């Protein structure tokens, strides 16, 4: 949207509401890292350390979240099941969900 008045030259400003903050404002991709670092410096805010992702298998995640051990033998409750083979992904890629 172009606005002009008799006392000032024409100014160009975006006519959108929320997405323009990311595109034109402080969080614009080109200047985001530098400006946010400057804001943290001015506000005396320390940057939180990056959290490394937890690498675990599906059975470990299931055990951690639910307390159910999927690899425990369902009959004797003492032994561990072993994975003998797994199904290949279609066309060598990652499996995808339903359309």
Distances (CA, A) of 76 to 11, 46, 62, 64, 86: 77, 53, 20, 22, 24
Residue pLDDT, tens place only, 19-37 = 555 566 666 777 788 888 8
94 sits in the region (left: phi over 0; alpha: psi -120 to 50; else beta) called beta
Confidence of residue 85 (pLDDT cuts 50, 70, 90): confident
The pLDDT of residue 64: 93
Split at pLDDT 50, 70, 90, the class of 17 is low
Helices (H) and strands (E) in the chain, counts: 3, 2
- List the single range of 22-26, 33-37, 38-42, 44-48 with lowest mean pLDDT: 22-26
Residue 3 DSSP symbol: E
């Amino acid at each position: 949207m172009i606005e002009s008045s008799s006392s000032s030259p024409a100014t160009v400003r975006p006519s959108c509401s929320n997405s323009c903050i990311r595109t034109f404002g402080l969080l614009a991709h080109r200047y985001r890292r530098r400006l946010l670092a400057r804001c943290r410096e001015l506000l005396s805010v320390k940057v939180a350390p990056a959290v490394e992702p937890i690498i675990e298998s599906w059975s470990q995640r299931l055990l951690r979240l639910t307390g159910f051990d999927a690899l425990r033998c369902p009959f004797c409750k003492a032994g561990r099941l072993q994975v003998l083979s797994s199904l290949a992904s279609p066309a060598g890629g990652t499996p995808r969900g339903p359309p």
